[in-house]
Structures are given as structure tokens and as C-alpha cells.
Amino acid sequence: MLREWITHQLTPAPKAAKRLGYLTEAIAIQERYRRCRQAWKTHLDRSRRFVLWAAANCPRQNRITILGSGGLLDVPLDDLAGDFQEVVLVDIVQTPTVRAWAANYPNVEVVEDDVTGLVDAIAAGTVPETPPTPRIPEGDADMVVSLNLLGQLPLIPMDHVAKDRAAAFAADIQRQHLRALQALPGRVCLITETAREWVADGKVEETEPALGEIKLPEPEESWLWDLAPAPELEPDRDLRLKIAAYGNFFKK
């Protein structure tokens, strides 16, 4: 906890994102990765391989934009930087570690941006009735990858709306993300959680939908992510995510 607090104090981030807890969450993910590295390995390996497969099948390779680049744990940056003329990494906060890593590649750009279009308004105390249509940074890329992001987008904004609105508001955020992706001129690679499972003694005790009532087509690949093996969140239960992956989601 002390290391996380020190990192938070020393890491620059947009004020609104920091106020709402996005930097805290980014640091917490890195710390959970340190603790759960082995449990995450399959998921991270499969995410990286799938992104490379989707990128290799993209007819043009001028620019690729990664939405939800995070700590680059699931981003095959070295390969993408070698294959594409330009790689754009987009997340709401970009840590010094990520910036230093990206600086090794002259064709990699790091962008801090809110892909929900909500953060500044919520930080100012104004929550819209419905989420806006977000702007995708560098969305004119040959391929845009929404990387383990769709299920996560509503989690912090949901805390700032009334409980009776939260589920519908979350689903609207996710629908707006998909609409924004669909409007892009290039291909879209989508990797997302679809459900969260609580597991005890190898048996699923509880399942929570990660995308509300949104129904996705049959994925090209699917796997499980052991996100928080016991006792990470609960002493006797694991939390795992069901992941779906699409190399060209809108068939462009």
C-alpha cells in the first residue's frame, strides 16, 4: 500500500482523471499484476497473440491505434512498432513507465484521452442524462484495437449516478463505445470481457454479466482470465473473466 501511495503522489495525470480515481486504478492494476503474474499469463499471452494475428490480416499497416493500452501488459508493442509505420497508445492516464517504454520507438505515440467523453463533466459534478458519443483519438487508423476495455469503461462512472440508473447508464456507455468504433473508417479488433465468474473449489457459484444486455456475436477466440485468484479479493473464491476476441468486429 505504501508503494502504491508513493507512486500515486509522484505520477502526473490529468486532474479530472486523478480526482475520479483512474490513476489509483491504473496503479492498482500494476500491483495486482505483480501479485498474480502467473495467473494472468495465459490471458496476456493470448491477448497479445490475437492482436498480432488481427494486425497481420489488416490490408494496410500505416497506423494502428490501441485503446486501453494501460501498462502495456497485453500490448505486443515491439512487434507492432516493427509492422506499422505508426502506433498510437491511448489511455486515460499514461504512467512514466509506459512513456519511457514507448520512447524506445520513434514511431510510437502516447496519448492521454478519455474515450467515454464523461470524465471532465463528472469531475466537475455534472453527470449527463445519457453518455455522449465519444471521440476516438487517432481513429482514422487502419486498425483500432479496443483492448480489454469495453467491460471496464463504466466501472468508475457508475459510481457517480443513482443506483437505479447505474446499470442502464453503464450499458449506454458501452453502446456508445461500440457506436464510435463502428463509425471508424478502418478495421476494429475487439477484445473484451463478457462475464465475471466467482469460482469456489473449481465450481462457478455466481456469474455477473459484464456487458449488460448487449449481445455480441460468436467470437473468433475465447478464453478465461484468472483475474483475482483467492485470496486476492475473497479468501475462498476466485474471480475470473470470460474473454471474447474479434479480429475484424464490423467486417470492414
Residues 6+ apart with CB under 8 A from 233: 239
What pLDDT does residue 14 have? 77
The residue type found at 152 is Q
C-alpha cell, 24: 489509483
Q: Which amino acid, one-letter code, is at 156? A: I
The pLDDT value given to residue 42: 98
Q: Which is nearest to 89 in space by CA: 73, 65, 113, 71?
A: 65
Give this prediction's pTM: 0.94
Quote the pLDDT of residue 129.
Answer: 87
Domains of the chain as residue ranges with CATH: 2-246 (3.40.50.150)
Residue 81 CB partners (closer than 8 Å, separation 6+):
87, 105, 107, 108
Which grid coordinates belong to 160? Answer: 457517480
3-state secondary structure of 66: strand
pLDDT at site 112: 96
Crossing angle of helices 22-56 and 2-10, in 10° steps, is: 80
Cell 475462498 -> residue: 236
**Residue 39: closest CA among 73, 71, 72, 68:** 73
Each residue's pLDDT expressed in tens, for the chain with a length of 252 residues: 555 554 555 566 678 888 899 999 998 999 999 999 999 999 999 999 999 999 999 999 999 999 999 999 999 999 999 999 999 999 999 999 999 999 999 999 999 999 999 999 999 998 888 899 898 999 999 999 999 999 999 999 999 998 999 999 999 999 999 999 999 999 999 999 999 999 999 999 999 999 998 999 999 999 999 999 999 999 999 999 999 999 999 998
Residue 201 Cα distances to 40, 204, 223, 241, 242, angstroms: 19, 8, 19, 16, 18
Closest by CA position to 105, among listed 141, 142, 139, 75: 75
Q: How many residues does the chain have?
A: 252
